[in-house]
Structure 1
């Protein structure tokens, strides 16, 4: 276990210069004693007090500079976070504490979007330091200061609250619109449709799909909806059992003259949904014997990235968790060493689905290096903060919204092994995985694209849509956010 070295911290009253070298870049932070605090002070019992008992503080950010920019600048905040992460990883408790205190003063939890984002990373770094080391001064700082409170108060949503939460931005609605349009086209002519919904949003996509299916000219098919029972508390969390949720969906479908069968299969992303795959195999055998054909739709919405991939070392897995729970016939000698993510996709291919929809966030959180993950997360997760800054003011909705983002930040930064479930991969890597699993990409129709564009018209002007070959990508101010891809067996 990592151990911090605790060296006495002496901060001169008039001036402190923190200098550290990383990749030949020198970070020099000049802090001067001031009688007025920048945002708030730590308690007098904090290690951040001078020998005279007065707390050190910073002048306003416009006069505090680092590397030529202001402390309040996002680039400078990112530099401070990177240097702090390096200090924590190298067991330099004194430097880590100094930078954490700087961050604590310039990134209040009620500041602008960049400050609130940085505050989330500050909390995550303290959580990592207290989990992996034995630095009592860092622990004292965490306990003494509400700004660094390690308890993230995530909210469990009612169904109505979750629906309203999803409607705030196109973050999820983009994938819903693109997927539903593609699914409608793929199931044309089928009287039985089996939808496997692997979604982080607890079937919130399904009511709109049921509405569209109900209006099918040839009449609605019989729908079987299978979901993986939630085994981990990953936001957004639902304050209802899946049995309750299923009952509501069945009643809603009945009101639209659609027959719906809802089934929950206890299954976990930790082992690549192996029990779900086995259930689907058995179901296929049963229906093959009965001679009934059905369309098999696999809808993957921002959940597959929770499945372990190659950077999760097998030695970090619990003893009762097999690194490869699948038994798919293969002549390849590398099968036994493949990740659960790879094996899950191969298992999907063996089911010969009618269509697979894969929607996820376009970022890379898989690096085994903390600083790489931090940089990638910081340069992606500013988007959800920025996207709601103009219209989502102080209130419960923003607290819930940002608490879920902070949970993601802490999972990326503070957790390791199987506990680190936020393992996003960019679209290019998912495309290669799908091709390696013997899928070929399919294009979204013009009707599907028009559907997505119509949905985006309901939101702020910063959101955009672009096509990358056969795929669709949601953007915010030109930056990739979420991708949607379609796949069929090759």
Structure 2
């Protein structure tokens, strides 16, 4: 039987300062994580155990530094991968258990979720950019049909309703269509979409807007085929605008890495965009995180994830402890999915802005510049948050980019058929 050798902290010259200091150097942590990932994927149980032992001792989920907490999330993800890949890895360790207990799933009330989203500009940035673009696109229409493909359970819609009531000159019919699927990624809410729709309809009525709310059972796993079929069956009518709002959810549609033998044009992401274009929408908004987490190589993917997810962890230092716990738990779920899962279970397949822009153009969409009114509103919103948040405009591709300490975080783009 292979004997597992426990590694001592003294073998790492900087380990003492890592444990006693503020959480240590991110580069040091990253290198340990990458070595551990390599050991796990090469089935080197002894080395994997040694590195996990070290990482578990220098990175606490309750650490004072964001680097410690970030690293702890990756340790948990690697542990989860190791357990599935090397089942015997922990069999000889007696009571030494590294795997932390699973977090309880938190289900937000609507009010709680709205407050949670307001903690950072992560989602609000896209809300504001998209809403301003939508207001411009639908002006003059008697009916507006918005298909809301979003992670945030329609949290963008109340501000849009309010803006429509305030800025557009005449009452209109607002039709809102959402998808309901058995998705298992956060954030979660504690009410049904039927209840949520009822609340939105009542709010719209209070703002003198007639609203229809439709729920379509459809899922990202097949490229929202049921939704597209529904939209084809009920095409837009005279004087009706069709707006498709895609907010951080298209990354869950399977990409080419799940079917590498198929042509890129046949990937479900491109199929979705192609069919969406055939509907001739008035406008499409696309808001996504700017990172590449699609690689089939674990080490490459882990490196990309570590160099992106430090951002949300770095932004939480000013949060109250409970806020920080919930916020970092959501990011930790993403990290575990990126690192521990493979195949169809690995749903976090974020692509860079450049790749999404290429997809949109390949499917005959053209970019539209976001108006200065949106830029001004975004600047005002960023002023409500911590120093470090910023924004840049890319004139080459008409996009707006949310930044943290100069690093790209989220991009917002607006598209029309060409």
TM-score for the superposition, normalised by structure 1: 0.81
Cα distance in 2 for residues equivalent to 1:148 and 1:122:
9
**Secondary structure of the corresponding residue to residue 285 of structure 2:** strand
Deviation at 1:154, TM superposition (A): 3.3
Query: Is 2:332 aligned against 1:406?
Result: yes
Deviation at 1:151, TM superposition (A): 1.3
Deviation at 1:293, TM superposition (A): 3.1
Aligned partner of 1:452 in structure 2 is: 378
Q: 1:217 to 1:266 in 2, by over 3 A?
A: closer
2:233 to 267, 271, 282: 282
Deviation at 1:481, TM superposition (A): 0.2
Aligned partner of 2:86 in structure 1 is: 133
Query: Is 2:404 aligned against 1:476?
Result: yes
Map Cα deviations across residues 338-390 of structure 1 (whole Å, 9 max, x no partner): 1101100001100000000000100000000001110001000011111121x
2:31 to 49, 64, 79: 79
Aligned partner of 1:424 in structure 2 is: 350
Aligned partner of 2:75 in structure 1 is: 122
Map Cα deviations across residues 321-349 of structure 1 (whole Å, 9 max, x no partner): xx9xxxxxxxxxx58x6110110000110
Query: Is 2:25 aligned against 1:97?
Result: no
Aligned partner of 1:265 in structure 2 is: 216
Aligned partner of 2:113 in structure 1 is: 162
Map Cα deviations across residues 216-266 of structure 1 (whole Å, 9 max, x no partner): 342131000000113211111111110010010001111111111001100
Cα distance in 1 for residues equivalent to 2:166 and 2:143:
16
Deviation at 1:140, TM superposition (A): 5.4
Aligned partner of 1:3 in structure 2 is: none
- Number of corresponding residues: 415
Summarize the alignment of residues 370-409 of structure 1 with structure 2, pairs less than 5 Å apart.
Answer: 370-389=298-317, 391-395=318-322, 397-409=323-335
Deviation at 1:201, TM superposition (A): 0.2
Aligned partner of 1:461 in structure 2 is: 387
Cα distance in 2 for residues equivalent to 1:63 and 1:401:
26
- After superposing on structure 2, the runs of 4+ consecutive aligned residues of structure 1 that deviate more than 6 Å are none
Summarize the alignment of residues 186-335 of structure 1 with structure 2, pairs less than 5 Å apart.
Answer: 186-284=137-235, 288=237, 292-313=238-259
Cα distance in 2 for residues equivalent to 1:442 and 1:210:
22
Cα distance in 1 for residues equivalent to 2:193 and 2:299:
38
User: Would the aligned equivalents of 2:149 and 2:245 in 1 still touch at CA under 8 Å?
Assistant: yes
Deviation at 1:144, TM superposition (A): 4.4
Higher helix proportion (structure 1 or 2): 2
Q: Specify every segment of 5 or more residues in structure 1 that has no aligned partner in the other structure, as ranges.
A: 1-5, 18-28, 32-57, 65-69, 316-322, 324-333
Aligned partner of 1:346 in structure 2 is: 274
Deviation at 1:119, TM superposition (A): 0.2
Q: 1:217 to 1:227 in 2, by over 3 A?
A: closer
Q: 1:11 to 1:364 in 2, by over 3 A?
A: closer
Cα distance in 2 for residues equivalent to 1:467 and 1:138:
53
Which has the greater radius of gyration?
1
Aligned partner of 1:489 in structure 2 is: 417
Q: 1:140 to 1:269 in 2, by over 3 A?
A: farther
CA RMSD of aligned residues (A): 2.2
Deviation at 1:136, TM superposition (A): 4.0
Deviation at 1:413, TM superposition (A): 0.5
Aligned partner of 1:88 in structure 2 is: 40
Query: Is 2:2 aligned against 1:7?
Result: yes
Cα distance in 1 for residues equivalent to 2:46 and 2:313:
31
User: Would the aligned equivalents of 1:154 and 1:403 in 2 still touch at CA under 8 Å?
Assistant: no
User: Would the aligned equivalents of 1:130 and 1:139 in 2 still touch at CA under 8 Å?
Assistant: no
User: Would the aligned equivalents of 2:242 and 2:283 in 1 still touch at CA under 8 Å?
Assistant: yes
Q: 1:61 to 1:256 in 2, by over 3 A?
A: same
Q: Specify every segment of 5 or more residues in structure 2 that has no aligned partner in the other structure, as ranges.
A: none
Cα distance in 1 for residues equivalent to 2:376 and 2:113:
26
User: Would the aligned equivalents of 1:71 and 1:77 in 2 still touch at CA under 8 Å?
Assistant: no
